[in-house]
């Protein structure tokens, strides 16, 4: 669905992204300081649960990424080039993304504070605030690196309600899996040339996230419900928003969300 305002541009096409588009999508994301790399788009492509759409008006002027997690859909990377904003293109991408995700119990996304009015106007509700943080150092954690375990997918499904086993495996292959020395849990840590990130992280020990971040060093990032000023600086607040049923997330164990869901 393309809005009336967007149609006034002439021919605006919303279509599936292909590999030839990735350089342009990287350029768009870097204008927003999102620090995506080519490997991130390739992981999403190979995951089997993700699709990226682009708004094409004689060239790509916007994008949106969709994740199908079974009963739950996730929207990420909704972005329109600055000179094309406020004429309905963002809404057209959002509505097409919601339509393509279909009848999910819940469709969720993160919003910056600046974008809250846009999402509220388009029918989403506020769940809770989380925080995009950067690691400051000051902690050397008691964690251990390990191999992939089927328990990762089980814990992820129990705590988030998602079905995304292949995506988790690909994230782990692009980095490492670490486990707490005591108790149950895991963290996926991913070094990057632009930005190193941690997530998802599940554990009932709140310091486990920061122990995992310490393996990537100062400046590594995460989106967490539990910012700790001793170890991390809050860069901005990210609000979890949703359509349908309220997200059922076990915040007694969820310490961080997955890095590809930030945009």
Residue range 71-103, pLDDT digits in tens: 999 999 999 999 999 999 999 999 999 999 999
Question: Which structure tokens are listed for 4?
Answer: 């009336």
The domain boundary, picked from 105, 129, 153, lies at 129
* Residue whose structure tokens are 């996926």: 188
Distance CA 254, CA 190 (A): 18
Tens digit of each residue's pLDDT (9 = 90 or more) over 111-154: 999 999 999 999 999 999 999 999 999 887 778 999 999 999 99
Mark whether 35 and 153 lie in a shared domain.
Answer: no
pLDDT tens sequence across 142-192: 789 999 999 999 999 999 999 999 999 999 999 999 999 988 999 999 999
CA–CA distances in Å: residue 178 to residues 72, 74, 208, 216, 263: 26, 25, 10, 12, 25
Q: In this structure, are 43 and 151 located in the same domain?
A: no
* Residue whose entry in the numeric block shows the structure tokens 């972005």: 79
Please indicate, yes or no, whether residues 78 and 104 belong to a single structural domain of this protein: yes
- Do 117 and 34 lie in one domain? The reply is yes
Asked whether residue 159 falls in the same domain as residue 112, the answer is: no
Q: What is the pLDDT of residues 41-56, one digit of tens each?
A: 999 999 999 999 999 9
pTM of the model: 0.92
Other CB atoms within 10 A of residue 228 CB: 17
Three-class DSSP labels, 30-82: HHCCCCCCHHHHHHHHHCCCEEEEEEECCCEEEEEEEEECCCEEEEEEEEECH
197-242-244 Cα angle (round to 5) = 140
- Whether the Cβ atoms of residue 54 and residue 17 lie closer than 8 Å to each other: yes
pLDDT of residue 56: 96
What's the CA gap between 116 and 126, in Å, rounded?
9
Alpha-carbon dihedral sign for residues 28, 31, 36, 38 = positive
Residues 6 or more apart in contact with residue 46 via CB below 8 angstroms: 166, 170
Asked if the model's pLDDT at residue 215 lies above 60, the reply is: yes
CATH number where 222 lies: 3.40.630.90
Instruction: Tell me which residue range forms the domain holding 101.
Output: 4-129
- Count H helices and E strands in the chain, helices first: 8, 13
Cis-peptide, bond into residue 49, ω within 30° of zero: no
Element (H, E) at 221: strand 221-224
pLDDT at 20 over 60: yes
Q: What is the largest CA-CA distance in the chain?
A: 60
Number of residues written out for the chain:
263
- The total number of structural domains in the chain stands at 2
**What percentage of the chain has pLDDT greater than the value 70?**
95
Q: Give the confidence band of 10 by pLDDT, cuts at 50, 70, 90.
A: low
Q: What is the rounded distance in angstroms from the CA atom of residue 133 to the CA atom of residue 72? A: 25
Q: Do 199 and 144 belong together in one domain? A: yes
Query: What was the pLDDT predicted at 8?
Result: 55
- Cβ 255 vs Cβ 201: under 8 Å: yes
Tell me, yes or no, whether 114 and 14 share the same domain.
yes
| Phi/psi at 175 (5° precision) | -150, -125
């Amino acid at each position: 669905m393309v809005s009336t305002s967007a149609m006034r541009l002439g021919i605006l096409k919303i279509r599936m992204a292909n590999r030839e588009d990735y350089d342009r999508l990287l350029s768009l994301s870097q204008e927003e300081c999102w620090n995506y790399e080519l490997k991130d788009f390739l992981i999403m492509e190979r995951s089997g649960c993700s699709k990226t759409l682009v708004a094409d008006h004689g060239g790509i002027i916007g994008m949106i990424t969709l994740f199908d997690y079974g009963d739950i859909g996730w929207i990420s990377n909704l972005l329109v080039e600055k000179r094309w904003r406020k004429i309905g293109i963002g809404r057209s991408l959002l509505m097409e993304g919601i339509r393509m995700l279909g009848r999910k119990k819940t469709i969720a996304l993160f919003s910056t504070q600046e974008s809250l009015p846009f999402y509220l106007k388009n029918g989403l509700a506020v769940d809770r605030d989380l925080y995009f943080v950067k690691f400051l150092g000051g902690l050397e954690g008691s964690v251990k690196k390990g191999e992939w375990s089927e328990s990762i997918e089980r814990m992820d499904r129990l705590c988030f309600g998602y079905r995304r086993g292949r995506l988790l495996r690909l994230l782990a292959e692009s980095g490492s899996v670490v486990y707490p020395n005591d108790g149950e849990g895991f963290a996926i840590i991913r070094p990057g040339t632009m930005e190193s990130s941690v997530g998802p992280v599940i554990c009932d020990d709140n310091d486990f996230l920061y122990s995992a971040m310490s393996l990537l060093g100062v400046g590594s990032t995460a989106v967490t419900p539990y910012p700790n000023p001793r170890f991390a600086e809050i860069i901005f607040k990210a609000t979890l928003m949703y359509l349908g049923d309220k997200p059922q997330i076990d915040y007694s164990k969820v310490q961080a969300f997955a890095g590809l869901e930030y945009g």
